Amino acid sequence: MSYSEQAIVDLYEGLEEVRASYGKLFVQYVHREYKSHRAEEFAREGFSRRLMTMLRCVERIFELLPPEETEPPEDDVRSDATINLQAFVFNVFGCADNLAWVWAFEKGRKHADGSEIPDRHIGLRKVNKSVRESFSSEFQIYLASRDDWFGYQENFRHALAHRIPLYIPPYIVTPENEGFYRKLGDQMNEAMRRKDHERWNQLSDEQDALGKFVPWMTHSFKEEAKLVPFHNQILNDYKTIDEIGWKMLEELDRE
């Protein structure tokens, strides 16, 4: 449930890789010459600004909840980390859409029959068939290989925007302690019924002592959403956006 020593080393190396890659891609999109003013805006004020936000979110999450931490964090610390996770997820999704808009304005928003592609169809996901078909076969194959990633992103982004927001559980209770944890919960309910707040607080502390912090994020427990190790995920998500960003530059440079 906690990271191994080697995993922690790998995570911090991944953080440094993200920091190093940010400036290289940022410069490419900010200083590129664009034919379309709207493409320029989506590249410089959209995609590039989102990259900056994502990097800062990653850094803050690592600062607030270091991978080596195993003690349950203070509620305010966990809340601040959650806010950064939520901002990160929104901007990952936004980065992909911004790149699609850069392409649409720079290369033209036309279906194969010459009709205009509607705004709601602009994107890089599998459902954005008209946009994908306008790319080279190599880029189409690459995007298809990332369909599961796009699906994960859409699920978490949609939950965050419309259903249940992303959540970092304060702790988890191991199976061997689950029975006692529930028993304490029943006693807390009884104490609350008697308006015995002192006893309720005591029992709550006993419950908390049974918990172990794990660096997971999720959204709806009723939907059985995945429990995702967020340090790994945000690094992988950033690297995927970085990879897509470079491949989009190759597409833009094609005649």
Distance CA(50)–CA(43), nearest Å, equals: 10
CA 173 vs CA 61, 180, 205, 209: distances in Å: 23, 10, 14, 10
Q: Are 61 and 14 in contact (CB under 8 A)?
A: no
Distance CA(2)–CA(72), nearest Å, equals: 12
Quick one: pLDDT band at residue 43, thresholds 50, 70, 90? very high
Which of 65, 81, 60, 78 minimizes the C-alpha distance to 208? 78
What is the identity of the amino acid at 55?
Answer: L
Q: pTM value? A: 0.87
What 3-state class would DSSP assign to 69? coil
Residues 86-135: pLDDT tens digits? Answer: 999 999 999 999 999 999 999 877 666 667 777 888 999 999 998 999 89
Residues 140-187: pLDDT tens digits? Answer: 999 999 999 999 888 888 888 888 888 888 877 777 877 887 888 889
CA 183 vs CA 177, 179, 189, 203, 204: distances in Å: 10, 6, 10, 10, 11
Residues 206-239: pLDDT tens digits? Answer: 877 777 788 888 887 777 677 888 999 999 999 9
β-bridge mates for residue 109, sequence order: none
Half-sphere exposure of 233 (CA within 13 A, CB side): 19
